[in-house]
Every structure is written in C-alpha cells, then in structure tokens.
Homo-oligomer: A and B are copies of this chain.
Amino acid sequence: MPELPRDSVGLVTPQTAHFDDPLLLVCGKTLPSYDLVYETYGTLNAERSNAVLICHALSGHHHAAGYHSETDRKPGWWNTHIGPGKSIDTNRFFVVSLNNLGGCHGSTGPSSTNPETGRLWGPDFPMVTVSDWVNSQVRLADHLGIERFAAIVGGSLGGMQVLQWTLSYPERLANAVVIAATPKLSAQNIAFNEVARQAIRSDRDFHDGWYAEHDTLPRHGLKLARMVGHITYLSEDAMGTKFGRELRFDDLNFGFDVDFEVESYLRYQGDAFSTSFDANTYLLMTKALDYFDPAAAHQGDLAKAVAPAQCPFLVVSFSTDWRFPPSRSKELVNALIRSGKSVSYANIDSPHGHDAFLMPEPRYQDVFSGFMNRIAKQLGLKPAQAQEAAHAF
C-alpha cells in the first residue's frame, strides 16, 4: 500500500455536529436545526488555546488537509499550508475546518431534507450570509469547547468570514488571517457572479431549483458558471504561460470543436464541476459574496465598521490577483490602521492570480508561517512531536 506523504496530516475522518437550537438568519428566516460537517487536524491542548479555524471559499468544503483513504490521490484543498511543519503547523495547532451552511458536502444545505416538509430544501433553502456562517461557526466552537481561537484563517470568501468574526465576536479570536479577500465586491465582481447565476438559472434543467426532483442537473449552466469563474481565478499571464495559443490538435478545425488547449481545459474543468457541485449551493455562495459589505451599515466608512475588532491581523494579497486585487486588501489595511488596529500586510509577487492563495510561494509561506509561529510563541505552544519535515520547498 502506498504511504501517505509524511508532511501531511495523514488519514482524516469528517465528523458531524448536530444543532437543534434554531438559527435566525440575516434574511429574516430561521433554520430550525442543522448539521455542520467538519474535520480536525492536530491535538487540542489542555488549555484549549491552540485552535485554528479555517473558513472556506466559494466552492470549498471541510476537507482542507490530509487524505480520506490510503488510496486517495488528492489531499484536502489547503494541504499545501496545513500539516506538520507547514504554515499552519499541526504539530502545534489544533485545526478545525468545516463545510458552511448551505454547502453541498455534508453540512445542511439545499440538498438536505427540510424537516418541516420532508422534501429536499432545494431552492427553498434560505439565503445565508457571511454573518450567518460566522454565527453557526461560533456554535461549532461551543460544541468543541473552544472559547477563543488562536487564529481564524481564510482566503477569498473565507477571508471575509475571518473579517466578520473580528466584528461579530472580537473576544473569540486572538488573531485574524485574511488572504486574497476584499471588504466588499466591486461592480465587476458582482457582474461575473450574476453571469454565473443567469447561466445556472436559465438552464432548462434547473427547474427553478427543483432539478433533483426532476432527476436531472443544470449541468450546462453550472459548467458555464465554473468556466467564467475559472477565468477570473487565473491571471492573464498565468493563462498565457500555461496555454498560450497552443492548439489541441495539429490543425485548426474551422468548426466549433476544440481548437485551443485553453478551450479544452475550461471545458474539462466545467464538466467536472457540473456534476460534482450543487447548483443551488453555488447560487447561495455567490449571493453571500455579493452581499458582504460590513461598511454599508456605517455609510461606507470601513474604518468605523472595523472598530469592534480587537486582535492583530495578517492581510495577504497577490500581485496578479485581478479577482480581488491588492488594492482591495490595501483598502482593508488602511481602514484597520485608521481604526488603530495592529495589522501586518504583505503583497506577494506571484504569477498565479487569485489561485495563488492555494499555492506554495516561498514568500507567502514565509509570511504566513512567520505570523503563525509568532502566535505559537506567544501562546507558549510547543510542538506536539519532534518536527520532522522541513518546509516542502
């Protein structure tokens, strides 16, 4: 049997927490009860002071690190940054990673049964916002007996949840790591999300969200949504380097089959996603992105909005990220500084666009692990075991 990589957290098993306390949502509706599926990596120390919460992005889930079986070919989505000796060092930290409400990987969402009707939630699943997710994550923390996280960490939409934590529950986290995020979406960001939504909702197999009851999937719509999304995750240069104008076959076909490698790649990515991700969940996630805007309640003054935050921040952006460009991170950094917060900011040179937050990049790892190591030191965390692996790079 092949061995799992020694710098990974190894085999992990998702767990499920059930909550019977109704959750009042920002939209005004109430979730009567719900499940949250989560994984943990590392060991919670006796003081319960070494917990790190991971918040996931648009199409993410609880499986952030390690493997689900010995034969798993792909580890969790942030395996590069979570593990023994990695930026989030599981020899010292106890890492919690969950699937958000409304998700399609085990937590209660559109594909779950609505206890009040006995029917799938489907499109009746209520709109969930970043605040709602944070409220549900607090309950998960209570469930796990974690009064205060050593750090809460997230990239992209995950970073927005981190920011919301510092505003909704400032006393319950000691540090905030906000990566490749933005304090609010731009008109262009919303525009791309709206294209994705229209693609899904105009697919004739969508059936107003009741596709499951019609034994079908809005495959074409979800494929298009993913293709558009994918373009915005990569930088123009990264796409150029990866594909250029390379032809898939020897000649142009003068038809509508694949001519260029980039077409083949996008079709493949879109097809794979279209049968593995739930369309109603995708719609909900894009709306949570669009709605996030903590400054809105303060006449657009972000410095006022972040006033409740208490903990130090690490903010990271990537030079070629055009989805949430460095300028949006700087907006947040400026507001935090104006509001008197402690904030470290690094703009990382990377050719990989928005996707860079998922990737290894030496300076990114130095900054990320440097910040996490300082937290470990301040908390007096000792490695749970001798640190075997150096950084994998």
A interface list, Cβ under 8 A from B: 26-28, 126-127, 184-188, 190-192, 194-195, 197-199, 201-202, 204, 220, 223-224, 227-228, 230-231, 234, 236, 239-240, 242-245, 252, 254-256, 259-260, 262-263, 266-267, 270, 283, 287, 290-291, 293, 296
Given contacts A224-B199, A291-B252, contact A245 B283 (CB under 8 A): no
The residues of B that contact A259 with a CB separation of less than 8 Å are 290-291
Q: List 14 A-B contacts (CB under 8 A).
A: A186-B236, A186-B239, A186-B240, A187-B262, A191-B262, A194-B260, A194-B262, A194-B263, A195-B266, A197-B256, A198-B220, A224-B224, A245-B296, A254-B287
Chain B, residue nearest A263 (CB): B194
Chain B, residue nearest A231 (CB): B191
The residues of B that contact A184 with a CB separation of less than 8 Å are 245
Q: A198, B267: Cβ atoms under 8 Å?
A: yes
User: When the two chains form the complex, which single residue of B27, B194, B199 contacts A199, counting CB atoms closer than 8 Å?
Assistant: B199
Given contacts A184-B245, A227-B194, contact A256 B239 (CB under 8 A): no
The residues of B that contact A262 with a CB separation of less than 8 Å are 187, 190-191, 194
Given contacts A256-B283, A291-B252, contact A243 B187 (CB under 8 A): yes
Q: A240, B187: Cβ atoms under 8 Å?
A: yes
Work out how many copies of this chain go into the complex: 2
* A271 → chain B closest CB, angstroms: 10
State in angstroms the CA–CA spacing of A305 and B260 once bound together: 21
State in angstroms the CA–CA spacing of A99 and B245 once bound together: 28
The residues of B that contact A199 with a CB separation of less than 8 Å are 199, 224
Q: A198, B185: Cβ atoms under 8 Å?
A: no
The residues of B that contact A187 with a CB separation of less than 8 Å are 236, 239-240, 242-245, 260, 262
**14 extra interface residue pairs, beta carbon distance < 8 Å, beyond A27-B254, A191-B263, A195-B266:** A127-B255, A188-B234, A190-B260, A191-B230, A191-B239, A191-B266, A194-B260, A195-B224, A202-B220, A224-B224, A228-B228, A254-B287, A256-B287, A259-B290
The residues of B that contact A291 with a CB separation of less than 8 Å are 252, 259
* A27 → chain B closest CB, angstroms: 4
10 closest A-B pairs by beta carbon, nearest first, are A27-B254, A202-B220, A187-B239, A187-B243, A127-B254, A187-B262, A194-B263, A188-B236, A188-B239, A195-B227
Chain B, residue nearest A270 (CB): B198
The residues of B that contact A236 with a CB separation of less than 8 Å are 186-188
User: When the two chains form the complex, which single residue of B194, B202, B254 contacts A266, counting CB atoms closer than 8 Å?
Assistant: B194
The residues of B that contact A201 with a CB separation of less than 8 Å are 256
User: When the two chains form the complex, which single residue of B231, B270, B290 contacts A260, counting CB atoms closer than 8 Å?
Assistant: B290
The residues of B that contact A228 with a CB separation of less than 8 Å are 195, 228
State in angstroms the CA–CA spacing of A213 and B260 once bound together: 31
